[in-house]
């Protein structure tokens, strides 16, 4: 929850998290691709490596036993810093890698070629790479094959994300949001942490659609989603739970922290009209806010309290903020 724009790395990590692929079981769809890279390019090791905050984790691996390494020693962490393929013909002759534990010890990397997995938003979340234990080179055609295979990996990841993400706004779908909400609540109960839930309803969206057309309504939704995502932390969860409603889960956040976020979103949305066909469409949003209660076992109770608060806000007019406490008491914030 910072006023500063997210750093490129925070954005990249948020994108990686959105794909929800870290620590998932191996899948044949990805293993087929690494096996083909291994055999077509005659390399002993082929990996789909995803670069997390402090580690690289392998969604698929051929010729390597370990499921992850620290990010510090990762060749792929270098590869994601640029868009073109990253090549290390002989690691022993490269000052960046000659003392790397993966070079001086197992698996004794000498040659590395990695193509970034560039996702729709431009973030490089990992690589498809091949590794040899002796110095090597790849021809132009072989590099093209590695790039083709990397694109196929991206296709597979994006296909899976289509079912969990709203294509208009990039927010999680309701089902995916609720799944994350339940998981976070379980975590919050176990570690006795706070958690807050915000429901955001775009005021008069149906009217915008009727007056200016659905393209304008879509532009408003995209704008509100962009403002919200920009204002949130990497750990926060953002979903579109209905046509004109978004939900925001703030882990380890109490009432005051949640209301600070809401106030910022409230002001930012009000002062940032959406642009459509040379017109600017001003909008506001109403908010229902709650925090975790002792009795909450799943996300259902929080969703209900925040929903009650939101309905109260909508019936009080537009651009209102209502907080419903864990003891069900309602208070108008703005």
Partner 1 sequence: MNQCLPVSDTFRAIQTRLDDPNLPAAVRENVEQHFQHLISLAHNLKQLGVDQEEINHHMAEIYGKYELALETNLARIKDIEGALVVTDDEETS
| Residue 181 within binding range of partner 1, rule CB under 8 A | no
If the CB atoms of residues 168 and 275 are measured against partner 1, the closer one turns out to be 168
Q: Tell me how far, at minimum, the Cβ of 281 lies from partner 1, in Å.
A: 14
Residues of this chain, 21-60, that bind partner 1 according to CB under 8 A = 27-29, 32-33, 36, 40
Binding letters toward partner 1, positions 248-287, x by CB under 8 A: ----------------------------------------
| Residue 137 within binding range of partner 1, rule CB under 8 A | no
Q: Which of 310, 322, 323, 324 forms a contact with partner 1 (CB under 8 A)?
A: 310
- 8 A C-beta contact, residue 260 and residue 231: no
Q: Which of 101, 122, 135, 207 forms a contact with partner 1 (CB under 8 A)?
A: 207
If the CB atoms of residues 91 and 149 are measured against partner 1, the closer one turns out to be 149
Q: Tell me how far, at minimum, the Cβ of 304 lies from partner 1, in Å.
A: 5
195 vs 180: CA distance, rounded Å = 12
Query: Near partner 1 by CB under 8 A, which window of 18-26, 122-130, 223-231, 305-313?
Result: 305-313
CA 75 to chain centroid, in Å, comes to 23
- 8 A C-beta contact, residue 220 and residue 282: no
* Contacts by residues 230-236 (CB-CB < 8 Å, ≥ 24 positions apart): 230/5, 230/6, 231/1, 231/261, 231/264, 231/265, 231/268, 232/1, 232/261, 233/1, 233/2, 234/6, 234/10, 234/13, 234/14, 234/17, 236/1
Half-sphere exposure of 28 (CA within 13 A, CB side): 0
CB within 8 Å of 219: residues ≥ 6 apart = 274, 275, 276, 281
Structure tokens at 61: 């691996």
Helix (H) or strand (E) holding 169: none
| Residue 117 within binding range of partner 1, rule CB under 8 A | no
Q: Which of 17, 160, 233, 264 forms a contact with partner 1 (CB under 8 A)?
A: 160
| Residue 222 within binding range of partner 1, rule CB under 8 A | no
Enumerate binding residues for partner 1 (CB under 8 A): 27-29, 32-33, 36, 40, 141-142, 144-145, 148-149, 151-152, 155-156, 158-160, 162-163, 166-167, 173-175, 199, 201, 204-207, 209, 217, 240-245, 288, 300, 303-304, 306-307, 310-311
């Amino acid at each position: 929850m910072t006023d500063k724009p997210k750093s490129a790395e925070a954005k990249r990590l948020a994108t990686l998290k959105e794909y929800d692929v870290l620590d998932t079981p191996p899948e044949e769809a990805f293993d087929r691709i690494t096996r083909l890279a291994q055999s077509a390019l005659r390399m002993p090791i082929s990996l789909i490596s995803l670069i997390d905050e402090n580690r690289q984790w392998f969604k698929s691996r051929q010729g390597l036993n370990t499921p992850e390494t620290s990010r510090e020693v990762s060749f792929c962490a270098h590869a994601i810093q640029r868009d073109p393929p990253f090549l290390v013909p002989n690691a022993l002759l490269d000052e960046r890698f000659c003392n790397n534990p993966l070079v001086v010890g197992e698996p004794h990397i000498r040659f590395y070629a990695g193509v970034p997995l560039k996702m729709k938003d431009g973030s490089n979340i990992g690589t498809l790479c091949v590794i040899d234990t002796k110095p090597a080179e790849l021809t132009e055609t072989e590099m093209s094959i590695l790039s083709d295979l990397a694109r196929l990996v991206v296709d597979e990841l994006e296909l899976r994300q289509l079912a969990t993400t709203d294509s208009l706004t990039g927010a999680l779908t309701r089902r995916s949001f609720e799944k994350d909400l339940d998981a976070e609540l379980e975590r919050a109960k176990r570690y006795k942490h706070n958690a807050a839930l915000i429901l955001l309803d775009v005021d008069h969206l149906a009217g915008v659609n009727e007056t200016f057309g659905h393209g304008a309504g879509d532009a408003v939704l995209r704008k509100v989603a962009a403002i919200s995502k920009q204002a949130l932390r990497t750990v926060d969860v953002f979903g579109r739970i209905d046509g004109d409603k978004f939900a925001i889960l703030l882990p380890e956040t109490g009432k005051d922290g949640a209301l600070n976020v809401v106030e910022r979103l409230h002001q930012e949305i009000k002062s940032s009209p959406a642009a459509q066909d040379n017109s600017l469409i001003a909008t506001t949003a109403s908010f229902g806010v709650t925090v975790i209660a002792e009795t909450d076992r799943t996300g259902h109770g929080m969703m209900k309290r925040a929903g009650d608060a939101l309905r109260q806000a909508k019936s009080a007019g537009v651009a209102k903020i209502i907080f419903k406490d864990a003891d069900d008491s309602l208070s108008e914030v703005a």
